[in-house]
Structure 1
Amino acid sequence: MLDPAEINSQADLIERTLQEIKGLVSLPEVYQKVRNLIDDPHSDIEHFVEVVASDPNLTVAVLRVANSAFFGFPGKIDSLSRAVNMLGIGQLHDLVLATSAIASLKLPNDIMPLKTFWRFSLFSAVLTRLLASQLKIPKSERLFVIGLLYEIGHLVLYAKHPELAKRAMELSRNNQELLHIAEQKLLGMHYGEIGAKLMAQWCLPAHFQDIVHYQPTPDLAPDQRRETALLHLVRACAEKYISGHMRAIEESVSADIWDILQLNAEQLAEAVEQALKAATEMEKLMFN
């Protein structure tokens, strides 16, 4: 039995980390510039191109993603201006946000190397978008970035409180329970809530925050139920196909997920196969 005082102490520690987040985990200047341009009614596409061009790493990432088979744009895109035009401001924002957020934190290799975290996140993002499109969930392209960022709470734990993260993993293994349940017992909150609080600090859209918050517990989601259920299922798939967990997907998800999504095992298997191929290609583009 965990000591309630210890749980409260650890919850307070996480809260203090999140309250000080601007000093601990701040998004790079390039992202802030993109956000400012989005809020500026007088900005045009060339202003966005100038901001991306000011960051060589981001320029390479944008060109590589625009040329990936996943987006399927015709012909080779060899100019930054065309890449930004083809991706659109919304997807450019999401790409800058995701790469900035994940790059802002340094992961200890004994918990999860950054490349492994990216592999998990890319697969999740691709599978989320594929399934959202297949299920005709509105604005399926915006779910791509939520799939990239829904593990951001774990990123905070791994980077800022690695010993607590390890204790939660050990508790999960010993009790044979899902990780978010162990985190709730140990920390007084799980990674979904931590991630949502961080997104609030970054002033990200409220529906991003809600989906990430309730993704581990979709039954409690007050709204965005299909989107939240979808991310819940996607994470179970990522644990199985990327992390190699032996637990069957059916044992890792809420029982009513299939009814909420109106999805069958054959549809999921086909989408997983496509996502594995697309995510592998995107990973090569981003890291090679």
Structure 2
Amino acid sequence: MSIAPIVKFASKSFTLPNTCVRLRSILDDPTSDMNDMAKVMSLDPSLCAKVLKLANSALFRFPSQISSVPKALNIIGGEAAYNISMAETANLAFKSFESSQIQFDAFWQKSILNGMLAKSIAQQKQIRGSERFFVLGILQNLSELVCATRLPDKYSMYQQVSQSTLPLQAQKDVFGFTFAQCSGLILESWQLPDTLSTPLMQLNLNDIVTQGFDANVLYVAQCMLFLKGAAELSKHSAVNQSALQDIGLSDDNYDMIYEFALSESHKIASNLK
């Protein structure tokens, strides 16, 4: 099945909010600073409120309360603020692709948990800018909603197959591509940074051994989500062990990551609604 029509439909059906586009432009302009970002964000009260909520949440775990957007920007940085704006954008994008086969609240909660798992793995590995993985985890299954909307019969088949097969493999078997791969191409069509689109496009199951560290983080997070924990991660026959080896965390690490992500994802999902 061709992936191109799905990408074209998504890119034409949803346009990035102006705030998101302007923030990216400011970040890419060496003559701009945090004051420029604060001015743009001040035009979007909803985004400001969510930036403050998330800056004071377990997503960043700062020891003191952050009470203003300029302070939040100075502490968390421009890229982190942009990633929060992308999480907000994801929420808007998801709502624009409604499907009777998907219960939105459950889908949103699952996406947030996936993002928290990916971010927590990156954080455990002390990857700089680990909040980017939170956004990657959320956006990973953006195209699932698009496929459910455009290809309802295929999606119904996928729902059956994915009950007993790891979702990434079920997606490949039914659609010929993974939702992550398709989502990455959609982000690329929106001209978002390569740091967001490339890891998703790499998660196509063509060659897990060489797909890259960022994509391996997303792969393992997705496996944990399917298994509802980490107990079987290193023993499950369908989980590619080379991805686990590339990340290099222990079973105890993964247990801790899953429990933390599970406990915090409900709060963060509420902050982004």
Amino acid in the other structure paired with 1:282 = I
2:216 paired residue among 229, 232, 242? 229
3-state DSSP of counterpart to 2:249: coil
Match in the other structure for 2:166: 178
Contact 1:31 1:97 (8 Å CA) reproduced: yes
The one-character-per-residue Cα deviations of 1:154-197 (angstroms, maximum 9, x if unpaired) are: 13223443443222223445xx4333334334333221221121
Amino acid in the other structure paired with 1:43 = S
Match in the other structure for 1:3: none
Amino acid in the other structure paired with 2:36 = H
> Structure 1 residues 50, 115: closer, same or farther in 2, change over 3 A?
farther
Q: Say whether residues 1:195 and 2:180 are aligned partners.
A: no
Number of aligned residue pairs: give it: 269
Q: Compare CA radii of gyration and give the structure with the larger one.
A: 1
Q: Write out the 4+ residue segments of structure 1 that deviate beyond 6 Å after TM superposition.
A: none
Q: Say whether residues 1:127 and 2:113 are aligned partners.
A: no
| 1:201 positional shift | 0.4
3-state DSSP of counterpart to 2:19: helix
Match in the other structure for 2:67: 78
Match in the other structure for 2:225: 238
Amino acid in the other structure paired with 2:105 = K
Match in the other structure for 2:28: 39
> Structure 1 residues 85, 69: closer, same or farther in 2, change over 3 A?
same
Match in the other structure for 1:153: 143
Contact 2:59 2:131 (8 Å CA) reproduced: no
Match in the other structure for 1:283: 269
| 1:48 positional shift | 1.2
Match in the other structure for 1:205: 193
Q: TM-score, normalised by structure 2?
A: 0.85
Distance 1:136 1:83 in 2: 21
> Structure 1 residues 87, 211: closer, same or farther in 2, change over 3 A?
same
2:252 paired residue among 252, 263, 266? 266
3-state DSSP of counterpart to 1:105: helix
1:217 paired residue among 205, 209, 218? 205
| 1:235 positional shift | 0.8
Contact 2:35 2:70 (8 Å CA) reproduced: yes
The one-character-per-residue Cα deviations of 1:105-130 (angstroms, maximum 9, x if unpaired) are: 33546433332222122222222222
Contact 1:105 1:159 (8 Å CA) reproduced: no
Distance 2:116 2:189 in 1: 26
Q: Say whether residues 1:62 and 2:48 are aligned partners.
A: no
Contact 2:38 2:73 (8 Å CA) reproduced: yes
CA RMSD of aligned residues (A): 2.6
Contact 2:116 2:137 (8 Å CA) reproduced: yes
Distance 1:69 1:177 in 2: 32
| 1:200 positional shift | 1.2
My pick for the range that moved more, 207-216 or 120-129, is 207-216
| 1:149 positional shift | 1.6
